[in-house]
Structure 1
Amino acid sequence: MAGARDELWDAVDARDELTAARGVFALLDSGLAAEDILLEVIAPVQRKVGAEWAAGRITVAQEHAATAIHERVIAALAHRSAPPSGLTGVTVTVACVEGEWHALPARILAETLRLRGHTVDYLGAQVPTPHLVAHLHRTAPDVVALSSSLPTRLPTAHAAIAAVRATGVPVLAGGAAFAADGRYARLLGADAWAADAREAAGVLSRGLPRPGPEAARPAVEDLPHLDDQEYTNVSRGKRRLVRGTLAGLEQRLPEMLSYSETQRERTAEDLAHIVDFLAAALYTDDSTLFTGFLDWTGDILEARGVPARVLLPGLDLLRQELKDFPRTLDLLTQGVDVLRARDPRPTIPGPGTAA
C-alpha cells in the first residue's frame, strides 16, 4: 500500500491527472477494494498534500491542483465501482456546512457510504443552512452527515445541526473542525460523531434514533456562557477590530508603511483569521481552540522563515481593543503566553505576517 501511495503522490505532485487515474484503476483491477483505495491510498495522500503545504514545500496553487485531481479521480472511481448487491442501507444526505469549502473529506465519506450499500445524496461544499433544510423537506433522508474542516465554522455548524434536528432528522458530524475526539460535535448537539468514513459507516449500521421534541428548542440554550455576549461582540466587530489593529501595527512598525497593497491585504487576512479563531474559542468556551491555532500558525510561519513572535504585536493590540471582555482578554493572554514560550527569537515582521 505504501508503494501505491508514493506513486499517487508523485502523480499529483507533478499535476499528472492521467497517471494518477491509471494508477488508481490499476489498483482496482488488481482486486483492491474501492473502499481501501479511498481510505488507505487517496485519503493519506491528500493529508500529505496538506502537510507539504504547511511545511512550505508546495504552494497554495499546487495544493489546490492536487486536491482537484483527487476529486476527479474519486469521481472516475465511483463510475468504475459498484456497491455489493443485496445490501439495504439507509438514505443519507452528505453536506458541508455553510462557509466550508473543503469538500474532499465529505466526498470520500459519501463514496464510502455508497459502497457500503447506503443511498447517498451528496450536496458538496458550502451548503447554506436554509437550503439544506428545504432540501430535507423534499427528500426526507434517514440521516444527515455534516462535514466541516475549519473550527471557525463551528457556530455555523451549530446552527445547521439545530435546524436539521428540528426537522426530525438525526445528525452525524465529522471533520477536523469537530476536534480529534469529537468534543465539539457533542457540545453542539450532534446525535453522533465519527472520526473517519469507516466509523461513520459503523454508526449508520447501528442506527440513529430520530431527535425528540427537545430538538425544537433554541440551540444556544445549551451554551450558557454565550449569555455574556462576548462572542457576539467579537464576531460582529471583526471588521472594526481588523481595521483598528492594522492601523495600530502601522504606528508600531514603521516598516509597514512601505508595504505593497498585496502585503497589506495579507496582513489583514492574518488578523481576520486570528479574530475568527478567537470568536470560535469564545463560542465553544475552549481556550485550546485559539491557542492551538496560534501554535499551528507559528509552525506555518517558521516553516517560511518567519519567527512566531511576529504575531505578538497584533495580539497585544487586540488585548487593548478588547480589555473590557474578560473571557476574550484571558484567551488573548493565553495566546501570547503560548507564542512567547515557543519562540525566543526577536520579532522580525515579514510581508503579510506583521500581525
Structure 2
Amino acid sequence: MRTSTRDRLPDSGVVERLVDELWEAVVATHERRATDVVLRALADGVHPETLLLDVIAPVQGKVGEEWAANRLSVAQEHAATAINERVVTALTLHAAPDTAPDQGRITVSCVDGEWHALPARLLAEVLTLRGWQVDYLGAQVPTPHLVGHLHRTDADAVALSGSIAVRLPTAHAAITACQAIGVPVLVGGAAFGPGGRYARLLGADAWAPDARAAADRLARGPLPRPQPDHQPADDLPHLADQEYTMVTRNSASLVRAVLASLEEAFPAMRGYSAAQRERTAEDLAHIVEFLATALYLGDAALFTGFVTWTAGILTARGVPAHSLPPALGILARELKDFPRAVNILEQALDTFATAPRTIAGKPL
C-alpha cells in the first residue's frame, strides 16, 4: 500500500526553514536561488507534494498578503508570482510521480476571467504526482472552450478554481454546462467562500478548501456523474427581481454617476490628480461589480466583507478610507428603486462604522 504524503512530512522546523529561504529568494527576485532551495530539498528527500503545498503555496500566500499591506508593489507581486510558477515547473520536471497515471483523467481549469492560475497549477501537479492523467488548461478559460475540451477528452471530472468572487456568476454557468454533458465538477478557491458556502449554492458536485483536500476527496472515489439530461434546480429564485441584471447592465453609468457626485460629498477629492481620479473610478467599478455579485448570490456578507477589505487596502496605502461611505451612500441613492441593493449597501455602511481595519486578519 502506498504511504500517504502526510506520513512523509519532514519535521515542521525543516518546512519553516524552507519557507523562509524560498521567501527570501522570491522577494529578492532571485529565480536561480529560489529554484535551488526547492531542488536541494527534493534531493534531500522532501516529498514534492510537501514542497508544492507546504512551501511554495505559503510563500505565494505571503506574496498576496504583503501586496495587500502595501509592502510589495504590483510589479514586485507579479515578479514574485512568476518566479514561484517557474519554481513549480523546475520541481515537477525533477519529481517522479508516486504511481503510474491510472487513477483516471481530470481537467483542471480556472473559471473564465480568473487570472490567478497558481492554485489550479498546484492542484494539477499534485494530482499528477498521485497518478491522475491531468489536462491543465490554465487561467481564464471560456466556458464553451472548456466544454469543447471535455467532449474531446471524456474526462472523469473537472476541477474548477476561482479566487475572485466576482467570477462566481461565470463559475455557475461553467458548473451547469459541465454537468449538462455528464461531467461532475469539484470546485475550490477563495471565491467559493468560507466553508465552500457558494459551492453548494451554485450546485457544484464537490468542494475542497485546498489542493491536498481536493486530491484526497478524489482519492476516496469517483464523483458521481450527472445524468446527461441533468437540469439544475432553480436554486437562485431571488434573481427573478432582475436587480442583478440591471446593476450589471448599467454598471458603467453607475460609476459615472457616483464619480460625478462624489466630489461634493467628499471635498478632498477636488485636489485629486488625474491619476488619483482614475484610480477612484477603478475602485468604484470594483464596488459595483461586488455589489452585483452579492445580488446574484443573495448574500450581503460578500459585499460587506469586500468593503471592509477595501478599507484596509486604502488605509495601508495612505488613502483615507472615510471616502468609502459617501460613495456607498451615493450609490444607494442611485439604486433607490432596487430594495435588495439598497439593503446590502446599508449593511455595508453599518459594518464600515464598526469594523476594525485589518489586512489578512492583522490590525493596521
Q: Does 1:209 align with 2:186?
A: no
Residue from 334, 346, 355 that aligns with 2:347: 334
Give CA-to-partner distance per residue, 1:166-200, whole Å, 9 cap, x none: 01000000100001300101100100001111111
Task: Quote the offset at 1:60 in angstroms.
Answer: 1.1
Match of 1:302 in 2: 315
Provide the rounded CA distance (Å) in 1 between the counterparts of 2:33 and 2:261: 51
Q: Which residue of 2 aligns with 1:280?
A: 293
Contact 2:192 2:198 in 1 (8 A): yes
Of residues 146, 150, 169, the one that matches 1:132 is: 146
Task: Describe the superposition over 1:298-320 as per-residue Cα deviations: whole angstroms up to 9, x where unpaired.
Answer: 11122223343220111010010
What TM-score do the two structures reach when normalised by structure 1? 0.93
> How far is the alpha carbon of 1:342 from its aligned partner?
3.2
The TM-score, its normalising length taken from structure 2, stands at 0.91
Residue 282 of structure 1 aligns to a residue in which SS?
helix
**2:257 is the counterpart of 1:244:** yes
Question: Mind listing any 5+ residue stretches in structure 1 that lack a counterpart?
Answer: 345-355
Q: What residue is the counterpart of 2:63 in the other structure?
A: 49
Distance (whole Å) between structure 1 residues aligned to residue 22 and residue 241 of structure 2: 50
Q: Secondary structure at the match of 1:109?
A: helix
Tell me the SS of whatever aligns to 2:195: coil
Other structure's SS at 1:78 match: helix
Query: How far 1:72 sits from its partner (Å)?
Result: 0.7
Structure 1 position 116 matched with structure 2 position 130? yes
Question: What residue in structure 2 maps to residue 179 of structure 1?
Answer: 193
State the partner residue of 1:352.
Answer: none
User: Could you tell me which residue of structure 2 aligns to residue 59 of structure 1?
Assistant: 73
* 8 Å CA contact 2:103, 2:132 repeated in 1: yes
Aligned match of 1:317: 330
- In structure 2, the CA distance between the partners of 1:306 and 1:254, relative to structure 1 (3 Å rule), is closer
Alpha-carbon distance between aligned partners in 2 of 1:235 and 1:159, rounded to the nearest angstrom: 16
Residue aligning to 1:347: none
Which segment drifts farther, 251-260 or 183-192? 251-260
Equivalent-residue separation in structure 1 for 2:21 and 2:218 (angstroms) = 33
- How many residue pairs get aligned? The number is 342
Give the Cα–Cα distance (whole angstroms) in 2 for the partners of residues 310 and 255 of structure 1. 9
Bigger shift: residues 244-253 or 165-174: 244-253
> Secondary structure of 1:144's partner?
strand
**C-alpha distance in 1 between matches for 2:348 and 2:268:** 25
What's the counterpart of residue 348 of structure 1? none
What stretches of structure 2 of length at least 5 have no aligned partner? 1-14, 358-364
Offset from partner CA, 1:125-184 (integer Å, 9 cap, x none)? 000011111111111111000000000000000000001110100000010000130010
Query: CA separation in 2, counterparts of 1:149 and 1:40?
Result: 19
Kindly report the root-mean-square deviation, in angstroms, between the aligned alpha carbons of the 2 structures: 1.5
**How many Å apart are 1:82 and its aligned residue?**
1.8
**How far 1:3 moved relative to its partner?**
0.8
Distance 2:164 2:119 in 1: 12
Q: Which residue of 2 aligns with 1:70?
A: 84
Matched, 1:225 2:245: no
Shift of 1:216: 3.4
* Residue 284 of structure 2 is aligned to residue 264 of structure 1: no
Tell me: CA distance 1:285–1:231, structure 2 relative to 1, closer, same or farther (3 Å): same
The residue aligned with 2:5 is none
Query: What is the rounded CA distance, in whole Å, between the counterparts of 1:70 and 1:317 in structure 2?
Result: 42
- Corresponding residue SS for 1:182: helix
Partners of 1:308 and 1:339 within 8 A in 2: no
Within 2, Cα distance between the matches of 1:296 and 1:96? 23
1:252 is displaced (CA, Å) by 3.1
CA distance in 2, matches of 1:341, 1:18: 46
- The match for 2:306 among 279, 293, 314 is 293
How far did residue 258 of structure 1 move?
4.2
Matched residues in 1 for 2:55 and 2:322: separation?
A: 37
CA distance in 1 between counterparts of 2:198 and 2:265 reads 38
The answer to whether the 8 A contact 1:309-1:339 is kept is no
> Is contact 2:325–2:349 with CA below 8 Å preserved after alignment?
yes
Q: Which amino acid aligns with 2:31?
A: E
Q: Distance in 2 between matches of 1:2 and 1:159?
A: 40
Aligned residue number for residue 169 of structure 1: 183
Name the CA distance, whole Å, in 2 between partners of 1:288 and 1:274.
Answer: 14
Name the structure 2 match of 1:350.
none
SS in 1 for 2:319: coil
Instruction: Verify the 8 A CA contact 2:186 2:205 in the aligned structure 1.
Output: yes
Amino acid at match of 1:58: L
Distance 1:207 1:307 in 2: 51
The aligned residue for residue 41 of structure 2 is 27
Tell me the amino acid that sits aligned with residue 73 of structure 1: V
Cα separation, 2, equivalents of 1:198 and 1:278:
32
User: Aligned equivalents of 1:208 and 1:247: distance in 2?
Assistant: 51
